[in-house]
A and B are shown apart, each in its own frame.
Chain A
Amino acid sequence: MSDTVIHVPTMQEKIAKGETPDILFWVGCSGSFDDRAKKITKAIVKILNHVGANFAVLGVEESCTGDPAKRAGNEFLFQMQAFQNITILNGYDVKKIVTGCPHCFNTIKNEYPELGGKYEVIHHTELVQQLINEGKLKVEGGAYKGKKIVFHDPCYLGRANNVYEAPREVIQKLDAELVEMKRSKANGLCCGAGGAQMFKEAENGTKEVNVERAEEALSQNPDVIAVGCPFCNTMMTDGVKHFNKEEQTKVLDVAELIANANDL
Chain B
Amino acid sequence: MISSIIFTVVFIISGTFFFVNAKKIKRNILLGKNISIQDNKKERIKTMLLVAFGQKKMFNRPIPAILHLFLYVAFVITQIELIEIIFDGITGSHRAFRPALGSFYTFMVSLIEILSVLAFIGTIAFLARRNLLKVPRLVKNELNGWPKLDANLILIAEIVLICFIFMMNGADEVLYSKGLSHATDLNDNTFNFSISKYIGPLLYGGMPDAGLHMIERIGWWGHFSMVVAFLNYLPFSKHLHIILAFPNTYFSNLKSKGNFTNLFEVTDVVKPNFDTAYQPLLDPNAAIKFGVKDVTDLTWKNLLDAYSCTECGRCTSVCPQNMTGKTLSPRKIMMDTRDRLVEVGKNIDANKGTFVDDGKSLLGDYTSSEEIWACNTCNACVQECPINIDPLSIIVGMRQQLVLEQSSAPTELNGMFSNLENNGAPWQFSPADRANWINEN
List A residues at the B interface (Cβ < 8 Å). 3-6, 8, 10, 27, 29, 31-33, 38, 41-42, 57, 59-60, 62-64, 66, 68-77, 79-81, 83-84, 86-87, 106, 109-111, 114-116, 155-156, 159-162, 186-190, 192-209, 211-213
Contacts and interface: CB of A to CB of B under 8 A. Distances in A.
Given A60-B431, A110-B255, A73 B320 contact: no
Interface in B272-331: 273-275, 290-291, 318, 320-321, 323-328
A155 B379 contact: yes
A193 B375 CA distance: 10
Nearest to B326: A205
Nearest to B327: A203
Nearest to A201: B412
Contact of B376 (A73, A116, A155): A155
A68 B421 CA distance: 12
B18 to A, nearest CB: 38
Interface stretch (B62-70, B81-89, B140-148, B399-407): B399-407
B259 to A, nearest CB: 4
Contacts of A42: 437
B270 A79 contact: yes
Contacts of A198: 426
27 contacts: A32-B435, A33-B434, A38-B437, A60-B431, A63-B425, A68-B426, A69-B417, A70-B260, A73-B398, A73-B403, A76-B266, A79-B266, A80-B270, A80-B273, A86-B274, A111-B262, A114-B262, A115-B271, A155-B376, A159-B383, A190-B378, A199-B415, A200-B413, A203-B373, A204-B325, A209-B376, A212-B323
A42 to B, nearest CB: 7
A106 B417 contact: no
Query: Residue among A62, A68, A72, A83 with the most chain B CB within 10 A?
Result: A72
A76 B270 contact: yes
A111 B376 CA distance: 18
A213 to B, nearest CB: 8
Given A72-B416, A83-B270, A195-B378, A159 B435 contact: no
A12 to B, nearest CB: 10
A84 B274 contact: yes
A208 B420 contact: no
B412 to A, nearest CB: 4
B378 A161 contact: no
B416 A75 contact: no
A59 B441 contact: no
Contacts of B325: 204-207
